[in-house]
């Protein structure tokens, strides 16, 4: 009996941690926006390596936004404990805290229409992405709150 209970508890813990894992630390996800060629929730890679455009590529499509067309950049994060999941699956989930990193890019498309893209960035790409976007666009990142500002600067 004890072995079965232990096995059930361990498998529940693994499920909870997998559910809280989110996107990979070097990946990005298209959360939403006005772009209809990429499905919301699509995971892929973002890049600022090109000197002309920020890009997002996935198995299901790609997007390139020229830096010169960007007119605002916003960064924020949400941190929350998954209480409902914890109660349903395992009390250990109460100890799990997930921090998400969101970049919103507003830009003019080729027809001069205002567009918006919301991306979730992996934790290991946040600082370099934000710094490169500021440098290449000449625009300052707008932070949703002081916590987001501190997090992006590594403080």
End-to-end CA distance of the chain: 48
**pLDDT in the model for residue 149:** 82
How many alpha carbons lie under 13 Å from residue 88 in its C-beta half-sphere?
7
Domains along the chain with CATH numbers: 24-80+96-153 (2.30.29.30)
Sequential pLDDT tens for the chain (155 residues): 544 433 434 343 333 333 344 689 999 999 999 999 999 999 999 999 999 999 999 999 999 999 999 999 999 986 444 334 444 444 544 455 578 999 999 999 999 999 999 999 999 999 999 999 999 999 999 998 888 787 777 64
Please report the pLDDT score of residue 62 as a whole number.
Answer: 95
Query: Judging by DSSP bridges, how do beta strands 28-33 and 42-47 pair with one another?
Result: antiparallel
pTM listed for this prediction: 0.73
């Amino acid at each position: 009996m004890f072995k079965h209970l232990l096995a059930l508890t361990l498998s529940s813990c693994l499920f909870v941690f997998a559910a809280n894992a989110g996107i990979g630390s070097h990946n990005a996800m298209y959360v939403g926006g006005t772009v209809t060629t990429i499905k919301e929730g699509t995971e892929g890679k973002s890049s600022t390596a090109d000197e002309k455009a920020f890009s997002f590529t996935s198995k299901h499509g790609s997007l390139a936004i020229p830096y010169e067309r960007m007119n605002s950049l916003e960064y924020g994060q949400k941190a929350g404990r998954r209480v409902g999941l914890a109660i349903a699956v395992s009390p250990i989930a109460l100890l799990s805290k997930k921090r998400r990193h969101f970049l919103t890019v507003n830009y003019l498309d080729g027809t001069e229409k205002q567009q918006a893209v919301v991306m979730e960035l992996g934790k290991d790409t946040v600082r370099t992405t934000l710094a490169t976007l500021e440098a290449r666009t000449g625009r300052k990142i707008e932070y949703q709150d002081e916590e987001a500002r501190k997090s992006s600067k590594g403080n």
